[in-house]
Structure 1
Amino acid sequence: MTETMDQNYSIWAKRLRENQGIRSLMEDLGQATGHPDEILLGGGNPAHIPEAEQIFQEAFSSLAKDPMLRSLLGDYQAPIGNDSFRSLAADYLSPFFQTNLKKENIAFFNGSQNAYSYLLNLHSGPMADGSFKKILLPIVPEYIGYADQSIADHTFIASPPNVVTTGKNRFRYELNQTTFDLKDVGVLALSRPTNPTGNVLSLSDLEWMEEQTKHRKIPLLIDLAYGNPFPNLIGEEAPVPYKEGRTLSLSFSKIGLPGVRFGIIISDSDTIQTLSSFAAVGNLAVGNLGVYLMALLFQKNILPSLAKNILRPFYESKLKLAIERFTTEFQKMGVDYEIHDPMGGFFLWIRFPSLSISNHELYQLCKENRLFIVSGHYFFPGLNRDFSHTKECIRLTYCREEEELARGAQILAKIVASHQTKSE
C-alpha cells in the first residue's frame, strides 16, 4: 500500500488491508487449482458426507416445490428474520438450551462470522461513558476470524493458558485463572469446541468466569459453530445451556452447509434489538435461503439425528485415522511433536517444540510443496507476552480423504524433520 493510499483510508481499513490470518486462510481456499497433487489441510470446510448431502438434497427439492418459493426468492426478510421464523426457532431450540426462549431472544444472520462482527463491536472500543473497553479471550489460541473484527485498534487482550501434559506426545490447554484480569474488559469471547485446538472448556470453567464477571455485567459470547445442539462435536462434555449474561451463536456451516451462510444468535432482548439495528445498516436483511431451510429442518426435526448418527461417527472415524497417519509419519522421520487432545471440532493442533524455523516459514515451505496448512501464529490475538507455542504450532483439518491425509503427513513430517534443532 502506498503512502498516498494510506492517507485515503481509515485506520481500520489500513489494518484490514494488511495480511490477516482469516484472509490468508480463505484466499488459500479460493486459489486452490484442483491440481491432483494439492493437499488442502488448511481450511475449515466440512467434509462432503454422502448421507448428509442426500438429506440436504431432499430438503432443497422440497423447498423448490413449495408454493412459498416465490416468497423465498422474491421477498425481503426483516433485518434479523421475520417474527414467524424467529418464533419457530425459539420454540424448537428451547429444550436444547434448557430454557424458555421467545422470538425476542433470536436473531438470524448471514453466518455467525457476520454476527460476531457486530457483537464484538457492540461491547468494545470507545464507549458512551468515555471509557475504552476491550475484548478478553479467556483462553488462547482462539478462532482466527475474531482478530480483525473490531473497528477500534488494540482491542483484544489475552494471557497464556496453562499447558498440561496429558500423555506421550499429548497435551491440553487449560484456563489460567491466576492471570484472569477484567480491568477495562467489555466482553469475553470464546469458541466451544475451541477452534483451532478442539478444546472443550467445561461448564465449571464457564461458571467460574461468570462468577467473576456478573457483578460488572460483562457478557460472555460463546461460539457454538462446532458445538451443541448441532453438529454437537463436543465429545463427552456437557452441552452449554442458555442463561442470562450469555450470548450463543449457532451455525449451519459445520453441519455441511457453509455455502448457505446462515447463523443464529441467542441472547437477551436488548442485545437482539441492537443487533437488528446493526443488521439493517450492514446487511439490510438476512438472506432467505438459510431461514427457509432452517424452518424445514427444524419442523422435520432432522438435525439431532443427523448429528448423532452421521456427523459425529464420521468425524470421530476421521480423527482416529488422521492421528494414526500423522503419528506414524512423525515417528518414522524422528519428528519432535505434540498433539493437543482433540475433544471436538475438525482440527488437529500440532506443536513442534524443536522447530528451527517459525510456523509461518513452515507454512510457506508446505505451500511450495502443494500442502496447505495454517500457521498457528494467527490464533493468539491480544497476547502481548512471550509464549513459545505462538511460533511452534500449526492447525490442520482432518476432514479430507484418507489418501490426502497420508500424503500430507508424509510431506509435513519430511519438512519438519529437516528443520529441527538437533538434540545434544
Structure 2
Amino acid sequence: MTPMTDSFSSLWATRLRQNQGIRSLMEDLGQVTGHPDEILLGGGNPAHIPEAEEIFADCFLALAKDPSLTALLGDYQAPIGNDRFRTLAAEYLSPHFGVTLTKDNIAFFNGSQNAYSYLLNIHSGKMTDGSFKKILLPIVPEYIGYADQSIEADAFVATKPEVIPTGKHRFRYGLNKTDFDLSNVGCVALSRPTNPTGNILSLKDIHWMEEKTQKKSIPLFIDLAYGNPFPNLIGEEEPVTYQEGRTLSLSFSKIGLPGVRLGIIISNPDTIETLSSSAAVGNLAVGNLGVYMMDILFRKDILPLLAKNVLRPFYDKKRELAVSIFESEFQKQGVEYEIHDPMGGFFLWIRFPNLSISNHKLYHLCKDKRLFIVSGHYFFSGLNSDFSHTQDCIRLTYCRKEEELARGAHILAKIVASHQAKSK
C-alpha cells in the first residue's frame, strides 16, 4: 500500500499523524514486552485489586448463566444505549447527583474519551454564524487525551495557573481568575480530580466559573473519571452535583474495568440528542458488555461501598507509600524536586526545577532504562504563554507494586541527578 503523504492527506489527518501525547502513552502500554526489568509508571491502568476483581468476576459468571447472554453477544445496542439501561442509570444516579434524572439525560459511550471527541467538536470550531469558537481549559496541566480531540486546529485555549507553595517540596495549582477569559469560547472543560496532577478544583471555584459561563450560555464539561460517585477518589473535597449548564462524564475504567470501555454522560436532553446523532455516525452502537455489567453493579448497589471500603483505602495507602519512596530516593541523590499535592486520582505530578534537559528528553532517557514515565509537556494544550512547568514536570502512576515503584524511583533519581543544573 502506498503510504499517505501530506499532499494526499487532510489537514486533520496530517495533524493526527504528528507527535501525540495520548498515542505515545497508549503505545507504551501496548508495547510492553513483559521483560522483568520493565517498570511501568507511565500509563493510566488502574491497579489490580483482588477484592474488586472478585466482584467483576462474579458479574461475568452471572452474565454467562443469564438467558440474556444471547442478546449481549448477538444484538446491537442503540447508538447511546437502549432505553432500559438508560432509565436504570438515570434512576440509580439521581440521588448521587442531587437531582431527578430521566433517560433523556443519559448517554453511554465506548469510554468517556469517546464521548469527549464528540462533545468538544460540537461546541468548538467553525459555527453556523461564521464565528470560530474555542475550548477553554481553565486550569492546566489538564488531561492528555483532550489535546488532539478537535477536528479544527488551534481549537484549545488555556489559562496559565497560579502556582501555590503548600510546604517543603510541595505546591499546587490554583485557578487564575485574573486571566480567565471567555472571549470566543464555545465550551469549558476540566477534570476533577485533574489528570495529571490530582488537583481537585473546589466547588467554590466551579461556581465562580459558572457565574461567568452561564451569562454567555457556555456549557461546562466536568470529567469525573476519578471523581464521585465512583471511584470517588476526591479526598475530603465535596462531590459534584448535576445542574443545568453542566455536562458530567463518568467512567468504569478507574473502578478497575478499563477493558469494557464504558463511559456515562449526564447532560440536558438537547445535548444527549445531538450526541446520539454523533454516536450513530461514529460508532453505530455502544458496546454491550459495559452496560450489562452496569446493570448488575447498579441494581445491587455495589459501587459506592466498593469505592468507600476498597478503592479509596487502597489508593490512599499506595499514594502515601509512593510519595515516601520517591522522596527518599530524591533526597539520597540530591535531586531538587517539588510534588503537586496529590489530592486524588492515580498519579504523582513532579517538578524538577533545576533539570538541565527537557522533560521529553528525560522520558527517553528513562525509557532507555526500561522505565516508562510520561513527559509533562503534553498536558498544556492551548497554553501560549511561557511557563517553566511545561518543560520541568513529569507524571507517574503510583498504582504499581512497591518493588516496582522503588526500582523506578532509584533509576529516575539517578538520571535527574546527572542532568541537574546548579541553578535555572
The bucket for the TM-score relative to the shorter chain is over 0.9
1:144, 1:312 → 2: CA distance? 24
Listed one character per residue, the Cα deviations across residues 192-216 of structure 1 (whole Å, up to 9, x for unaligned) are: 0000000000001100000011111
Match of residue 27 from structure 1: 27
Matched ranges for 1:147-166 at <5 A: 147-166=147-166
Residue 3 (structure 1) shift: 10
Match of residue 396 from structure 1: 396
Residue 7 (structure 1) shift: 1.2
Match of residue 145 from structure 2: 145
Question: 1:184 corresponds to which letter in structure 2?
Answer: N
Structure 1, unpaired ranges of 5+: none
Are 2:77 and 1:77 aligned?
Answer: yes
Question: 2:193 corresponds to which letter in structure 1?
Answer: P
Match of residue 115 from structure 2: 115
Match of residue 89 from structure 2: 89
Match of residue 364 from structure 2: 364
Match of residue 291 from structure 1: 291
1:406, 1:188 → 2: CA distance? 38
1:333, 1:76 → 2: CA distance? 56
SS in 2 for 1:254: helix
1:39, 1:194 → 2: CA distance? 24
Residue 423 (structure 1) shift: 4.7
Question: 1:174 corresponds to which letter in structure 2?
Answer: G
1:389, 1:16 → 2: CA distance? 25
SS in 1 for 2:145: coil
Match of residue 126 from structure 1: 126
Residue 4 (structure 1) shift: 6.8
Match of residue 310 from structure 1: 310
2:295, 2:217 → 1: CA distance? 34
Match of residue 65 from structure 2: 65
Question: 2:256 corresponds to which letter in structure 1?
Answer: G
RMSD over aligned Cα, in angstroms?
A: 1.0
Listed one character per residue, the Cα deviations across residues 260-284 of structure 1 (whole Å, up to 9, x for unaligned) are: 0000000000000000000000000
2:4, 2:257 → 1: CA distance? 42
1:179, 1:214 → 2: CA distance? 18
Question: 2:7 corresponds to which letter in structure 1?
Answer: Q
Relative distance call for 1:296 and 1:3 in structure 2 (3 A) is closer
Are 2:224 and 1:224 aligned?
Answer: yes
Question: 1:239 corresponds to which letter in structure 2?
Answer: P
SS in 2 for 1:177: coil
Identity of aligned residues (%): 77
Match of residue 259 from structure 2: 259
* Structure 1 length-normalised TM: 0.99
SS in 1 for 2:146: coil
Residue 422 (structure 1) shift: 1.7
Relative distance call for 1:3 and 1:383 in structure 2 (3 A) is farther
1:169, 1:195 → 2: CA distance? 20
Are 2:41 and 1:37 aligned?
Answer: no
Listed one character per residue, the Cα deviations across residues 112-165 of structure 1 (whole Å, up to 9, x for unaligned) are: 000000000010000011110000000000000000000000000012100000
* Structure 2 length-normalised TM: 0.99
Structure 2, unpaired ranges of 5+: none
| Structure 1 segments (4+ residues) deviating >6 Å | none
Match of residue 209 from structure 2: 209
Match of residue 187 from structure 1: 187
2:215, 2:402 → 1: CA distance? 50
Matched ranges for 1:41-56 at <5 A: 41-56=41-56
Listed one character per residue, the Cα deviations across residues 341-389 of structure 1 (whole Å, up to 9, x for unaligned) are: 0000000000000000000000000000000000000000000010000
Question: 2:26 corresponds to which letter in structure 1?
Answer: M
Match of residue 338 from structure 2: 338
